[in-house]
Structure 1
């Protein structure tokens, strides 16, 4: 019940249009300190005990000092940029957050988080520190849980430093498009004819180069050897593979999308031009480049999303 109220409170704050304001609220430990202060104050006044009142004063100053320093630990911190990793379902990658700060003292025990239906932050209790030694960056390890795409609009950052009496937090507005690609898996339901075997195919065209130890005698240019009394090897030119279009029906299963993802990576490695056709919804012309690979993977991630 209490956790639901806190989450509702966070959602309301995250929906505000303010530019990363800093909020601070007492934790359960902080409320215990408040209750202890009240009890000590009542006892000290009732029994006129100066030692109890002195301890109550010291504890109260520690409480106020903790509130100030917790707020100071998060102030002056600004999110500059965020990197979106290329992640497949079942893989783990890092999201890097880059900050600038006007606080020369550094920032300690920071815990970033964000809401996502596709990825999960691993080791959610881990905290980070920011100083000039690590270029003001935080790297969060995430795990791909589900294929798809989504937009992340808020990054949540909190700290409990130094005594866990107060929770200081803020929200940064971001525009992050997150894609989780299908799992790379060569499924049995994928048609193998989509990836033709063009390895070691050669044309009749060749050029001559000097013979090197280990070259096959079948490629030795014997005619050139007879003319010049020097050994030469024929280097045949490989055939440019024909473009291949990978396609699937409108109701493709996750296993088929995983097989398509496997074949796309395989043909990218073998330098075979490939295209992608997902039913009647999208078509990408054949090509072979890192940008073309990224476009195809994003189409697979966005399929029926």
Structure 2
């Protein structure tokens, strides 16, 4: 029964507050109710009124009506704090799965000042403070994420309890634009790409015949063939030879280079590799099922690859309700990736 009531209430709110990146707060979409302190204050006024009637005490009447006027004045002031305020989504953030994605909002006050504002999404809240009349202030609201893909907050709440905390006025913003959540990076094992200069190789190329190698400490997941065992026997230090192709030849980051691995884990491996290549400024390309990004270098190229990893197989949220913590994986895309990983 409670689930049915919540569902109907949510549909009613969604009709009153449609999705938009610009939200003007008016009487149509503003709500106000007493807080716990306000309810206690109202009960106290009722008891004082009953006492004044019972004893016909003019002083009790005076204090009761005076405090009642304060309550009514606080109600008008609390509602006016939000009335005429305009919220605009300036930037839908980007980040990695599991992190808080920052959505930048701009609050523009109308003819009245907006005082003691609190913006929140899920369990995270940010205090905006005082927005002078006719001026704007930007604030970053963190939205939790869990999955790669698109992150569209269902509702961002704005609230005020000024001046006395007896009442709270609130509304919501339901953005259309979605943030982008990159796969969470996981340290990738050493593998050999199945691509050579963008072409599918008939078999994995051996790296042992190259002339240039870079030594680095051994990491969990490295292939035993790459360990310099003679050096380990002499010094006891376990190092790995990271062989490179001819100078100037790009390294390909390949989805198919991790056979037998869950495809979401492959995206996490590729995400880590993209970050590492971006830090070193190395030239690299990215091969995904049905999509190839040509080799390049630089931070802009790394960001483009991360976005491709995030959005591969995902569709932008279009429904009235958004999935919590990000989009889910598309079933058809999951099957396609599984086939690609199996070499079918």
Fold-level match, TM-score > 0.5? yes
Whether the aligned pair in 1 keeps the contact of 2:131 and 2:137 (CA below 8 Å) is yes
1:275 paired with 2:289, answer no
1:157 paired with 2:165, answer no
Corresponding residue of 1:298? 307
Corresponding residue of 1:227? none
Choose the corresponding residue for 2:276, options 256, 262, 266.
Answer: 266
Q: How far did residue 184 of structure 1 move?
A: 1.9
Q: How far did residue 74 of structure 1 move?
A: 1.0
Counting matched residue pairs gives 257
1:109 paired with 2:96, answer no
Corresponding residue of 2:179? 178
Whether the aligned pair in 2 keeps the contact of 1:95 and 1:141 (CA below 8 Å) is yes
Write out per-residue CA displacement over residues 262-281 of structure 1, whole angstroms, 9 at most, x where no aligned residue: 11122233231312314xxx
Choose the corresponding residue for 2:103, options 92, 95, 98.
Answer: 95
Write out per-residue CA displacement over residues 175-233 of structure 1, whole angstroms, 9 at most, x where no aligned residue: 22122211122133x625589999899xxxxxxxxxxxxxxxxxxxxxxxxxxxxxxxx
Write out per-residue CA displacement over residues 148-167 of structure 1, whole angstroms, 9 at most, x where no aligned residue: 32333643211122222222
Corresponding residue of 1:240? 248
Q: Counterpart of 2:152 in 1: which secondary structure?
A: strand
Which structure: greater strand fraction? 1
Q: How far did residue 303 of structure 1 move?
A: 4.5
Whether the aligned pair in 2 keeps the contact of 1:198 and 1:241 (CA below 8 Å) is no
Whether the aligned pair in 2 keeps the contact of 1:75 and 1:103 (CA below 8 Å) is no
Please give the alpha-carbon distance, in whole angstroms, between the structure 2 residues aligned to 1:24 and 1:198: 73
TM-score by length of 1: 0.69
Q: How far did residue 45 of structure 1 move?
A: 1.1
Whether the aligned pair in 2 keeps the contact of 1:26 and 1:165 (CA below 8 Å) is yes
**For the structure 1 residues 253 and 242, does the alpha-carbon distance in structure 2 shift closer, same or farther, using more than 3 Å as the test?**
closer
Please give the alpha-carbon distance, in whole angstroms, between the structure 2 residues aligned to 1:164 and 1:252: 52
Q: How far did residue 6 of structure 1 move?
A: 7.5
Q: Counterpart of 1:297 in 2: which secondary structure?
A: helix
Question: Mapping of 1:208-219 within 5 angstroms?
Answer: none
Please give the alpha-carbon distance, in whole angstroms, between the structure 1 residues aligned to 2:2 and 2:52: 33
**For the structure 1 residues 146 and 192, does the alpha-carbon distance in structure 2 shift closer, same or farther, using more than 3 Å as the test?**
same
Corresponding residue of 2:12? 12
Q: Counterpart of 1:185 in 2: which secondary structure?
A: coil
Please give the alpha-carbon distance, in whole angstroms, between the structure 1 residues aligned to 2:62 and 2:10: 37
Any unmatched runs of 5+ in structure 1? 116-120, 202-237
| Structure index of larger Rg | 1
**For the structure 1 residues 255 and 243, does the alpha-carbon distance in structure 2 shift closer, same or farther, using more than 3 Å as the test?**
closer
TM-score by length of 2: 0.62
**For the structure 1 residues 177 and 93, does the alpha-carbon distance in structure 2 shift closer, same or farther, using more than 3 Å as the test?**
closer
Whether the aligned pair in 2 keeps the contact of 1:284 and 1:296 (CA below 8 Å) is no
Corresponding residue of 2:267? 257
**For the structure 1 residues 276 and 108, does the alpha-carbon distance in structure 2 shift closer, same or farther, using more than 3 Å as the test?**
farther
Whether the aligned pair in 2 keeps the contact of 1:267 and 1:273 (CA below 8 Å) is yes
Write out per-residue CA displacement over residues 51-98 of structure 1, whole angstroms, 9 at most, x where no aligned residue: 211111121011101101111111221013331222112444532211
Whether the aligned pair in 2 keeps the contact of 1:71 and 1:168 (CA below 8 Å) is yes
Please give the alpha-carbon distance, in whole angstroms, between the structure 2 residues aligned to 1:82 and 1:142: 15
Please give the alpha-carbon distance, in whole angstroms, between the structure 1 residues aligned to 2:40 and 2:177: 39
